[in-house]
Amino acid sequence: PVFAVACALVFTLSRSMLSLHANVSSDPLFLTFMFVYFYLTAKYLQNPSNKLSWWLFILSGLSFLHRFPGIVFFAVGGLLILYREGFRSALKAIPQAVVGILPAAAWIVFFTYAQTGTFFGPRAPEMMLPLENANNSLARMVHWFVPLFAPLA
């Protein structure tokens, strides 16, 4: 658990993350989910249990519902079970993964699909600006790796 807490603190207190936290108000709750997930992951590595795997996938679903990068926690949970207990236990964790994805699936069906008629929201060719998107992405990557420079966009 010490390593998980240390990694979480380094991640949270980095200069680029602090500037992001100041501008995005949804980050503290996502970070809380992430810290609890790291803690439970460390506990699972020490002493695997069915109860902990349920909590890992429930937190995965809640974090994905809150922020899209939370979907990574599903992959981490599956790989963790595969690494620690093998293929058969990973197959037995499918119901937990399904329960974990239910909040996001409900949001997609009852909110996004109900409002737009598509599962991923409105998509129009005039809304797709690949060069502008690439420029914004590169600017944020530069700011992430070289935090002393202000973002370009």
The C-alpha atoms of residue 31 and residue 27 are separated, in whole angstroms, by 6
Widest distance between CA atoms in the chain:
52
* pTM for this model (two decimals): 0.63
- Which is nearest to 42 in space by CA: 70, 4, 75? 4
Give 151's pLDDT tier (boundaries 50, 70, 90): low
Give residue 79's pLDDT. Answer: 87
Mean per-residue pLDDT for 63-67?
A: 84
Higher pLDDT, 117 or 40: 40
| Whether residue 28 has pLDDT greater than 70 | yes
Give Rg (Cα) of the chain. Answer: 18
Q: What percent of the chain has pLDDT over 70?
A: 81
**45, 56 Cβ separation under 8 angstroms:** no
